[in-house]
Structure 1
Amino acid sequence: MANNSTDDSGEVEYLCDLMDFSTVNAAFFIVIFIISVTGNSLLLVVLVCHGNLKNATNLFVLNLACSDLLFAVTLPFWAVDHLHHWVFGDLACKFLTSAYYVGLYSSTILLTAITVDRFITVVLNKWPSKPVRERCAVGVCAAAWIISVTASLSDAIKVKESAIDDDELTCESDNTDVNLSYYLQVSLLFFLPLAIIIFCYSAILKTVVQVSNKKRLRTVVAVLCIVAAFFICWGPHHVLLFVETLYKPESCDAKESWNIAYNICRILAYSHCCLNPLLYMLSQNLRGHLLNFLHHDNIRSRNIDKAAPIAQNATDMLELKCI
């Protein structure tokens, strides 16, 4: 399974034949891309056509769907990179890396904002008026995108198209200090929001259970599922990367186990962008809008089908006249 070699310092270096996940990763990336783009696009159409976008929650959901779409559109490029190598150039490397992190960071900030909004509404009950809440929601969404774009610029600057060997290229960081800056950003844009969310939802659930409001409890649980799904999917991936700075596997068995765990956690993390549309359907309002939208589409399709023979007959008549 392994060949051993000795470096200049006399330490044994293990040359291991690790399992190749390139094809598996690429296949999952494409499947996730298709499901995410379909689901989130449908959700955006339903919100724009039937949802009240002045409502703070709907506005947050709309921006979350945009975050998921932005993240998902980068996946086919990473799939090609896994199957072949990086063929899109240095500019695309920087741009897609930036888009990847903008989608990730904006999702985290928006989910934290939704939780804080629920906390203020349910626990503190101090929103002065609905228009003020709506203006705050617009400001928070704008701030989320600005912060995400700013944070992603450092990631985009550090990556570049580089050569693996004579005929293969890759898109990776060329900065030796990337781990420090990356984990600093992850701490601020993942673990800090996680702590805020845990605190807020502990207080929210305690308040809702005490007042025994079933309707409010159902709403809180629906939002909790959306937030929990993000951290369940992304949590293992970030924890694994954080542990990587402290622990380096040495034996081939340890490296193989680490390789398997890393690839499984990454697929789990990336799959989050296609889960949100399913979780949003826990909301009765959104589910009703979706059913109405699909119902109207079916009626329109039936009308088109009925009109098709008439149109075909008219075409045939024109053709006969021409003859």
Structure 2
Amino acid sequence: MYGIIFSIGLAGNGLVMLRYIYFNRLKTGTDYYMLNLAIADMVFLITLPFWAASIVRTWIFGKEFCKVIYGLYKMSFFSGMFLLMSVSVERYFAIVQAPSAHRHRSKTVWISKISSLGIWVLAFLLSVPEFIYSGVKEYNSEKNCVIYSDNIQSLNAGLKIAQMASGFLLPLIIMFFCYSMIIVTLLHARNFEKYKAIKVIIAIVIVFVVFQLPYNCVMLIKAFDNSTQCHTSKTIDFADDVTYSLACLRCCLNPFLYVIIGVKFRNDLCKFFKDLGCMSQEKFAKWSTAKPSKRSSFAMETDTTTTFSP
């Protein structure tokens, strides 16, 4: 599972990063959020082969590297959540507060740069416990990279609650509010693509909840689990493995939900392959779409902060 997620996620997020670099698309606030989201997903994906190797065999990479991988994994997790939240906030202002957003459009790029940097700093600070308390523990002659301390139960409980509140509940609440207001605005808009935009928004929220909520629930159960029964412990561990794999799978879906479904991205991708000589002019004309109209919905483009026209 980790191998599949790593391969697909690396390809999808790699194309996103390549597109922004090749076409110099870093011109709007959303562009910077999307690029940073791809970087966060890439950092997260890079940690998966090490966890896979540890599961197949044992942790052979040493104590210090355990801290690095654990810390990077958690930092990329938090940064990804906060960046998704930032995208929803920017879309809210661009669509719901369209007149105000248009007046302050020149500031959006500067704000996105500062906020992206702030997100990475905040993600690092929230990941400090992983850098401090992670290490290699030996169980039944097998070494594992885990978090441990003298009071592991209270430490785990405190970490899981804090991380779930800041890394899942807060982004979920803000995303739900922003996208709800966006849907209301789109329903009152004179735009023939508004229902497509609403479907995309609903898909984004559903994917976020379906792939993140189960893992966060299991994480919370593990934090307060005091059971000494072997069957209960195995059941929770199995649930942890399954839900964690689903949460990892979301990294593969981010490029498709937030960028690749955008018209501009598809056109850029076709042009990139045509420039490389991998696509003929006939196929380029067939697969690339017509230039979107100025009245295209912001939610459908996903890679522009053009003010929505009601």
Structure 2 counterpart of 1:75, from 48, 60, 79 = 48
8 A contact 2:59–2:145 mirrored in 1:
yes
Query: Deviation of residue 124 (structure 1)?
Result: 2.3
Kept in 1, the 8 Å contact 2:47–2:73? The answer is: yes
Question: What SS does the aligned partner of 1:211 have?
Answer: coil
The one-letter code matched in structure 2 to 1:173 is I
Q: Does 2:161 align with 1:183?
A: yes
Matched, 1:169 2:143: yes
Alignment of 1:283 onto 2:262: yes
Aligned to 1:239: 217
**1:86 equivalenced with 2:59 (yes/no):** yes
Q: TM-score, normalised by structure 1?
A: 0.78
Matched letter for residue 65 of structure 2: A
Q: Distance in 2 between matches of 1:158 and 1:278?
A: 35
* Cα distance change, pair 141–35 in 1 and its aligned pair in 2 (3 A): same
Report the Cα distance in structure 2 between the residues aligned to 1:217 and 1:58, rounded to whole angstroms: 24
Q: 1:222 to 1:285 in 2, by over 3 A?
A: farther
Q: In the alignment, which residue of structure 1 is the partner of 2:120? A: 145
User: Any idea what the Cα deviations from partners look like across 1:84-125, whole Å, max 9, x if unmatched?
Assistant: 110001111000011101111001101111111111121122
SS at 2:27's partner residue? coil
Classify the secondary structure of the residue corresponding to 1:243.
helix
Which whole-Å CA distance do the structure 2 matches of 1:287 and 1:222 have between them?
16
Aligned position for 2:108: 133
The answer for unaligned runs of 5 or more in structure 2 is: 281-310
The number of equivalent residue pairs is: 273
Aligned-residue Cα RMSD (Å) equals 2.3
Q: Tell me if 1:265 matches 2:238.
A: no
Equivalent runs, 1:1-323 vs 2, <5 Å: 28-125=1-98, 126-127=100-101, 128-165=103-140, 167-175=141-149, 176=152, 177-215=155-193, 218-219=196-197, 221-222=199-200, 225-226=203-204, 228-246=206-224, 254-279=232-257, 280-298=259-277
> Aligned residues: percent identity?
25
Residue matched to 2:299: none
Q: Structure 1 stretch 267-276 or stretch 87-96: which is displaced more?
A: 267-276
| Larger deviation, residues 177-186 vs 249-258 | 249-258
- The equivalent of 1:310 in structure 2 is none
Letter in 2 for 1:283: G
Which consecutive unaligned segments of at least 5 residues does structure 1 have?
Answer: 1-27, 302-323
- Does the 8 A contact of 2:156 with 2:223 survive in 1? no
1:144-168 deviation digits (Å, cap 9, x = unpaired): 1111111111211111112224x43
Aligned partners of 1:35, 1:220: CA distance in 2, in Å? 26
Residue 224 and residue 150 in structure 1: after superposition, are their counterparts in 2 closer, same or farther (change >3 A)?
farther
2:15 aligned counterpart, secondary structure: helix
Amino acid aligned to 1:66: I
Q: Is the 8 A contact 2:160 2:220 kept in 1?
A: no
CA separation of 1:89/1:209 partners in 2, compared to 1, >3 Å: closer, same or farther? same
Aligned equivalents of 2:50 and 2:278: distance in 1?
38
Match of 2:137, SS state, is strand
Pairwise CA distance, 1:299:
5.0
Q: Which moves more between the two structures, 126-135 or 209-218?
A: 209-218
Q: What corresponds to 1:313 in structure 2?
A: none
Q: Which has the larger radius of gyration?
A: 1
Query: Equivalents in 2 of 1:98, 1:224: separation in Å?
Result: 32
